[in-house]
Amino acid sequence: MNIDLVKVYYPGAAGAKLLPQRYAILQPESNGYAHALVIRGEKRSMLFDPFNFKGWEVTNTCGELNIMRNGRQEPAPSTEVDIEFWKKFLLDKWHYYASLGMQKDWVRASMVLKKLGAEVPKVMTTDAIAAMEANGEDITGIIAQKPKKVRSAGKDTKPEIFKQLKRDSKRGKVCDFFLQDTPQPIVECMSKFDMSRSNVLSHLSCANRDQGWGYELTGDCVKVIIPEGEEAWVFDVLN
C-alpha cells in the first residue's frame, strides 16, 4: 500500500443520483472538490478528509477516486504527498480537535499518521494525565481531551479463577498494552493491532471471564489489573 494526495469530488447523496458514477460517500462533511489523503489497497482504499478528520473505506472504482473522461472512468488526479507538511498539519489538527473534546475519526487519523511515519499522539482524559503527573511521568505529546460525561466502568479481578496469559497471543497483546501504571487510550491500541473498538473490549471482557483479569474503563482509556501477587505471563521455556 502507498499513500497519495487525491483531488476528490463529494457530491453527497442528492448529487450522486444525478451523476453517472457510483459514489461511496453519501454524507461528506461538505460537498464539492477537496483534497484527501488516500491509503491505497488492492481492491479497497481508505480515504481520509484531513480538514475534518473523517475517513471512509471505499472501493477503488468509486466516483470519489475516479473521474469521467470521454465517457470512460479513469483515476482522479493525485500528487506526491509532502510528508513533513502533512505530519505537522495532522498533528496540529489532532491537538486542536482533541483539546475541544470533539469526536473525530481518531482511528483512521492514526492510520494516516503511522503511514507518514509520525508517532500517534495519546488522547487521555485530564484525570489520567493528572495521575501521570502525580507519578512524575513524562506527559510530553499527550493531549488532554475534555470529557463530556466521563463514566467509569470495567470489571473486577477474579482471584479465584486467575490464569496467566501468553504474552504473544492476541488477548495477551491487548492486555499487555493496557497493563500499565496509568490508563492507556483505546484508539492507540486499535491502531497498533488493527482492531475495532469492539474487538479490543471483547478481548478484555473475555480475559476477565476466562482468566480472571480485571480492567478499569474511564472514557476512552483503559487500565488492566491483575490480582495482587500474581504474575501476568506464562513462562516460555524456549525463551
What are 223's strand-pairing partners?
A: 216
Comparing 2 with 211, the larger pLDDT belongs to 211
Angle of helix 186-193 versus helix 106-115 axis, rounded to 10: 50
Q: Tell whether the model's pLDDT for residue 64 goes beyond 80.
A: yes
C-alpha cell of residue 200: 479490543
Domain map (residue ranges) of the chain: 3-79, 152-225
Q: Backbone dihedral region of 18: left (phi > 0), alpha (psi from -120 to 50 degrees) or beta?
A: alpha
Distance CA 235, CA 155 (A): 26
Q: Tell whether the model's pLDDT for residue 237 goes beyond 70.
A: no
Taking alpha carbons only, the member of 172, 156, 168 closest to residue 213 is 156
- Provide the greatest CA pair distance for the chain: 72
Over the stretch 140-182, which tens digit does the pLDDT of each residue have? Answer: 777 776 655 555 689 999 999 999 999 999 999 999 999 998 8
Residue recorded with cell 502533512: 86
pLDDT of residue 214: 96
Q: Tell whether the model's pLDDT for residue 85 goes beyond 60.
A: yes
pLDDT of residue 98: 81
Confidence of residue 238 (pLDDT cuts 50, 70, 90): very low
CATH number of 152-225: 1.10.10
- Confidence (pTM): 0.64
Q: Tell whether the model's pLDDT for residue 68 goes beyond 70.
A: yes
What is the average pLDDT across 3-32? Answer: 89
- The single-letter DSSP state of residue 22 is P
pLDDT of residue 147: 55
pLDDT of residue 228: 92
Percentage of residues of the chain with pLDDT beyond 70 = 92
- Of 142-151, 198-207, 214-223, the one with minimum mean pLDDT is 142-151
pLDDT of residue 239: 43
Q: Tell whether the model's pLDDT for residue 231 goes beyond 50.
A: yes
